[in-house]
Amino acid sequence: MLKKGFWIGVGLFILYAVGIWWYLFYASPQEIPNAIRGSVADPNTFMTNQEIELSYEYSRLKHFFFFIITPFEWILYAVIIIFPLSKTFKQWANEITKFKFFQVMIYVFAFSFTLFVTMLPLKWFSYQISISYGVSVTPFSVWMRDNITSFLLNYIMLVAIALWLNWIMNRSPNKWWIYSWFLSIPFTFSVIFIQPVLIDPLYNDFSTLQNKELESEILSLAQEANIPAEHVYEVKMSAKTNSLNAYVNGIGPNTRIVLWDTTLAKLNKGSILFIMAHEMAHYVYKHVLLGVSLSILFSFIGFWIVGKIVKGIKERFEESLHINGNNLLVLPIVLMIFSILIFISSPISNYVSREMERAADSYAIELTEDKDAAISAFQQLTTSGLSEVQPPTLVYWFRYRHPSMLERIGKLSYMSEEKSFTNQK
């Protein structure tokens, strides 16, 4: 019964993939509203015809891979759970050692390595697309190193999760999910606290901003926003990408103001200050804490749903899935359900994120009083990343944590025209 359901799922996945391809490349042509044509929000005014064509092709291919990779991962989980590789991994671990701790480490390694190796070709194709369109310039060795780093970090985290689940499910078979939710709260805050100083440097090289005059101006903005920062950090991203970015992350003394070196190279000072003011707005409005709080709230619902589903699966399929009395084999099921829930709920989280980004845009405009610099920044961000100014609706719901560039530039254009009209009066 489970294997039959699996093959039905594979068939539905193929139909889904074909449907997504049709939707992106045939049912959603790139069209600019007539009201925007000729304005600063119209890509024809700041991008060449070739850049517009490349942005369309590149964006649609990246969107396609996004919509395909996550459901494909669900199929891998199902293969591991149903066929059953999970039981085989556990048997290997039991044969190698009698120590429970090392059995967990071996099982998780076999499980996570299988996922890693199977997903790698898809990630490689996505990487090659970015290379071929000139958005990424990451050497293969660096790309592979970053993937291995991510694998090792995920492996450490999964070992901790597996040890916890194996222990808590034995002691509280019905309430394990709520204890797990409680434990996730301090874990979430600790990751945000340590990420700027421990995790981010594993992937990129950071240094204090070399342009001290610019650093002084950025820190002046930070002082107005009451951000406890003594330095602005520059991260060397030009060896990996042509895209632009900047951000403020961390909590308290670990707060970091960061600029990509590509942003420094391609934007003028006014645009850089606007972008930094935008990022600082997230700190001023406590968007990080708000986002974490909402994440904790929704994760409670997620843990409750996972608890109910896992209980139902164990009651109905415990024997056929070989998970009777072996809570370690529940790990792939828990991860698969969470992955599905996160994907399904992404339109909600993206909507909340877009509202935060709109508030940050307004704050930055008020603080810098330089709409031209803002318009220029958004145009450069679009061009350098070959982004679509107006994505398809489905893409906007599931992928866009920021308003579309058409919205952002269009709003600034309207404000500029309104100001010009007021001055004429």
Q: Residue 52 and residue 394: Cα distance in Å, rounded?
A: 20
Q: E-assigned strands of 178-300?
A: 206-208, 232-235, 246-249, 256-260
Phi, psi of 369 (to 5 degrees): 55, 40
Amino acid at 362: S
Packing angle, helices 176-194 and 287-317, rounded to 10: 150
List the Cα angle 117/121/125 in 5-degree steps: 155
Was 231 annotated as part of a binding site?
A: no
Token pair 């060397």 is found at: 236
Contact 136, 386 (CB under 8 A): no
> Could you tell me the maximum CA-CA distance found in the chain, to the nearest angstrom?
85
Contacts of 263 (CB under 8 A, 6+ apart): 244, 245, 246, 272, 275
Is-catalytic flag, 361?
yes
And the tokens for 212?
Answer: 């001290």
Which residues, 6 or more positions from 291, have their beta carbon under 8 angstroms from its beta carbon? 352, 353, 356
Instruction: Give the helix/strand (H/E) hosting 9.
Output: helix 2-25
Place of tokens 């930055």: 364
Q: Torsion over CA of 97, 98, 100 and 104, rounded to 10 degrees?
A: 30
Determine which helix (DSSP H) or strand (DSSP E) holds 370, and give its type and residue range.
Answer: none
Which of 42, 73, 215, 361 is flagged as catalytic? Answer: 361
279 flagged as catalytic: yes
Where does residue 405 rank: exposed (0-12), middle (13-18), buried (19+ CB within 10 A)? buried
- 4 half-sphere exposure, CB direction, 13 A CA radius: 1
Amino acid residing at 227: I
Tokens describing residue 33: 């509203």
CB 307 within 8 Å of CB 177:
yes
Q: Report whether 278 belongs to an annotated binding site.
A: yes
Residue 357 annotated in ligand binding? yes
The CA distance from 389 to 52, in Å, is 10
Catalytic residue (one of 279, 370, 388, 407): 279
The DSSP result for 296-328, as a single string, is HHHHHHHHHHHHHHHHHHHHHHTTTTT-TT-GG
**Residues catalogued as catalytic:** 279, 361
Per the annotation, binding residues for Zn(2+) are 278, 282, 357
Show binding-site residues: 278, 282, 357
